[in-house]
Amino acid sequence: MLIISYAHSSRSPTPQPAVTIGTVGQLAVDLLIATLKAQLVGYLEDPDVLPVVGADPYAPPTATQLHMAASLEVYHASPHNLYIIQQRAPAAPGRQHAFATSMVSWIDSQHFEKVVLLGSVPAALRRDADLMEDSVRALALDAAQQAVATQYGCMPLEVVLDGDWPFVSSTL
């Protein structure tokens, strides 16, 4: 993974989207970036992520200084000391594990205190009874983190094994 024009961080929380059904994680991160007026501090380049280039998604119509949008961007919301990674493209087919490994390695090397991964699960994996409940779920690493998530109204997400393929579902 190559880091381009990145301002070093230390021990700040970092949300990152998971490129999933309906781009829920990406849209949530877009809202965080726009609401917190986070500033672009760099780009990440990873050979396992498909390349994407586009126009500045947060620029007002009258802006004179624009930047390009890319596959992996790093933003910083200084009043909150929050670094945000926006992933606009999926990992290449068959390269998801390699990408996840390199992201974990990079995140670890930056000494982020917490990482929040935002994403979605297809509604087809939910039971009929679950359709009547709130669909916000959280998968925490320990009981203390789950307690915080529950405090904010996030029900626990169950990890289910389907044959040899592990996936996360709140329903099966």
Return the domain boundaries, the chain: 2-120, 122-172
Encode the chain (172 residues) as per-residue pLDDT tens digits.
Answer: 333 333 444 545 565 656 666 678 888 889 999 999 999 999 999 999 999 999 888 888 898 888 889 999 999 988 888 889 999 998 999 998 899 899 889 888 888 877 887 777 676 666 676 667 766 777 777 788 778 778 877 777 765 545 444 444 433 3
CA distance 98 to 16: 17
CATH C-level class of 2-120: alpha beta
**What DSSP string describes 79-142?**
GGTEEEEEE-SPBPTT-HHHHHHHHHHHHHHTT-S-EEEE----GGGS-GGGGGS---EE--SS
